[in-house]
Amino acid sequence: MKKMPRILTVNPGSTTTKLGYFQGTEAVEIQQIDHLKNPLWNSMTENEQFEERLRATEKFIAGKSLDLVMARGGILKPLSSGVYIINDKMLEDLKNAPMKHASNLAAPIAKIIADKRHIPGYIADPVTVDELQEIARYSGHPFFPRKSIFHALNQKAVARKYAETISKKYEDLNLIVIHMGGGISIGAHRHGLVIDVNQALDGEGPFSPERSGTLPAGDLVRAAFSGKFSENEMLKMITGNGGLKAYLGTADVKRLLENKDKETMKIIDAMIYQIAKYAGEMAVVLQGKIDAVIFTGGLAHAGYIIRQLTGYLSFLNSDFAVFPGENELEALAFNGLLAWKGKIKTKKYR
């Protein structure tokens, strides 16, 4: 019997680094390092912050045996879903990525760790996974083609996990996967490909705890040219300070649901309504042939939200499955195990 691989998972955030040590998909140790505890953090250069993260990772794995390293994928060029070997081309593209994001640091950290130990280092399903069918790329104006940027890592992982629970292959199923966190992405998975999904990074789709979602275009343009807001303020209005945060002053859904204030519930119900509406769009994309609707992300812990959504979507007559939590570290370990077992073939980034 083949042993379970010992896997390090690396997921940097803006001021944190989340690390996991797994035996297969079983978490042996999880640690979240809060870099703000270092009073010098905000005065460090980018390179100094990188070195700090690398030192923290080395400390975490000191004395541990490793078989492979799995890193969160950064802002790369559009690519197909899968597990990719970290190579020099990938590191160069991350260094020159069009957007600065902490996830761009994961692969460089993993590469250093892996090379020192002569073991493989991979990323899996970065946010730029692009499997859109051609018709889904049209937005309504050639200046604005629709892009695929979404919670690919978690969406793909829970879709494969669901397939395992019913003893079927992910590639044989039609699924709607609804990831609900600070941002919300809703994907139409047809036979292993996400053929349509809202561009969650910039807030397309339903509004969420922190994102405004798809706004009335004319009003948005007029606000942008009103002279009242800078470009950065407009972007923060859409992503970061939108959605529940804009309406209610907080993105803490758990606390909001506990209060059950009438006005608060009205806004939360509106968010749920929009999520269901966009899920309905994906049902049309799949022409009503849907094996299951899968709920995931942090908001999937909220029973109220799941009950309301299943009520809206009951007409689909499909299975419903709930995999709560964002689970990036677990998703990385899951993909690492699939690659280790040869159930998915690793790819070369070009």
CA distance 183 to 283: 20
Asked if domains 6-130+329-348 and 152-325 share a fold, the reply is yes
* d(C-alpha 48, C-alpha 35), whole Å: 12
- Superfamily of domain 6-130+329-348 in CATH is ATPase, nucleotide binding domain (3.30.420.40)
pTM: 0.91
Give just the sign of the alpha carbon dihedral 108, 350, 79, 330. negative
pLDDT tens digits along 240-274: 899 999 999 999 999 999 988 999 999 999 999 99
H or E segment and range at residue 188: strand 184-190
Contacts of 258 (CB under 8 A, 6+ apart): none
Q: For the segment 229-246, what is each residue's pLDDT rounded down to a tens digit?
A: 999 999 999 998 999 999
Q: Which two structure tokens, joined as six digits, stand for 171?
A: 């590639």
| Single-letter amino acid code for the residue at 233 | E
> Please, where are the H alpha helices in the chain?
46-61, 88-95, 106-117, 152-165, 217-224, 231-238, 243-248, 253-259, 262-285, 303-313, 328-341
The CATH class given to the 152-325 domain equals: alpha beta
In what side-by-side order are the strands of the sheet with 16-23? 26-34, 16-23, 6-12, 68-72, 121-124, 83-85, 347-348
Q: What is the dihedral of CA 257, 260, 265, 267, to 10 degrees?
A: -70
Backbone φ and ψ of 308, nearest 5°: -65, -45
Domain borders along the chain are 6-130+329-348, 152-325
Query: How many H helices and E strands in the chain?
Result: 11, 12
Chain-centre distance for alpha carbon 218: 29
Pairing state of beta strands 292-297 and 174-180? parallel
Q: Which residues of the chain have pLDDT under 70?
A: 1-2
The per-residue pLDDT for range 149-176, each reduced to its tens digit, is 999 999 999 999 999 999 999 999 999 9
